[in-house]
Amino acid sequence: MAVITVIGLGSMGLGMALSLCRAGHRVIGCDLRADAAKSLVAEGGETGTPREAAAQSDVVVSVVLNADQTEAVLFGAEGCAGTMKHGSAILSCATVPPQVARRLAAKAEALGLHYLDAPISGGAAKAAQGKLSIMAAGTEAAFDAARPALDAMAETVHDLGRVAGAGSAMKAVNQLLAGVHIAAMGEALAFASSQGLDLQRTVDVISASAGTSWMFENRAPHVVAADFAPRSAVTIWPKDLGIVSTIADDAGLPVPLTRAALGQFEAAVAAGWGAEDDAAVTRVYARAAGLTLPGDS
């Protein structure tokens, strides 16, 4: 049994913490929201502040929103890295630019800590089942130190090498495709609506045809059901596709599809749908053409 701290108990972090509990580890959850850990405590987990929890832990799993939050919870004024035991491990799971991952890894190593650049994919359901895909890069010692957490949280751990940053780069590839596919799903459903097609029938036909994608099959039913409760919120995509765009700019690489999708998610945020499920990007297309979607009055 390992002692593992999970910082950030949103839809992903909570599921990961619950998976760790079920694997028999002692799990301490940390979140700014007082009620975020209720489900964790009900499953035998504990709560605490990051600094106090990290001081007791073999592994700290950071599942916060972005690079700024990651650096703050680890190395800020109230950051936990300074209280961690020598030789313990940090798993950094937020989507960040590769250069940030490398910089944070160097900070951790200077404190005698192991750092695994370990972005995650799979969604809240797979997080709760311990079946995430983790794109990891770091030293062999970092993998070894993090192994109890990796085994409990992931169905697949992709070892992307010994240097932090490769995990974040691979996650950016994934997010490029995922964001473009969600935007394409919204465009396709709006196009179907413009042609008078029944949207449920459209989902059935396209899901069995060459034009389908995992994102189409997963998100299009949300639109048909007018169910925009956030499994993955619209606001994630301006951040993640913004990271992709910045990385591409640095490489001198044009990414027109990424930028087109980014613009649609930014429009959805501007329209007030940022906190809704990312399938709500469909509304951007529909409203531009005066189309009515399921659930519209």
Supply the DSSP string of 112-162, one letter for each residue: T-EEEE--EESHHHHHHHT-EEEEEB--HHHHHHHHHHHHHHEEEEEE--S
Contact 7, 84 (CB under 8 A): no
Q: Report the amino acid identity of residue 207.
A: S
In the residue annotation, 131 being an active-site residue is answered as no
Length of the chain as a residue count: 297
Supply the DSSP string of 36-73, one letter for each residue: TTHHHHHTT-EE--HHHHHHT-SEEEE--SSHHHHHHH
For the chain, give me the number of helices (H) and strands (E)?
Answer: 13, 9
C-alpha–C-alpha distance, residues 204 and 210, integer Å: 12
Contact 282, 225 (CB under 8 A): no
> Edge-to-edge strands of the sheet including 154-159?
120-121, 132-136, 154-159
Considering the candidates 38, 85, 126, 171, report the single residue annotated as catalytic. 171
Contact 247, 168 (CB under 8 A): no
Beta-carbon count within 10 A of 22 CB: 15
Contact 154, 128 (CB under 8 A): no
C-alpha–C-alpha distance, residues 270 and 283, integer Å: 12
Give me the active site residues, please.
171
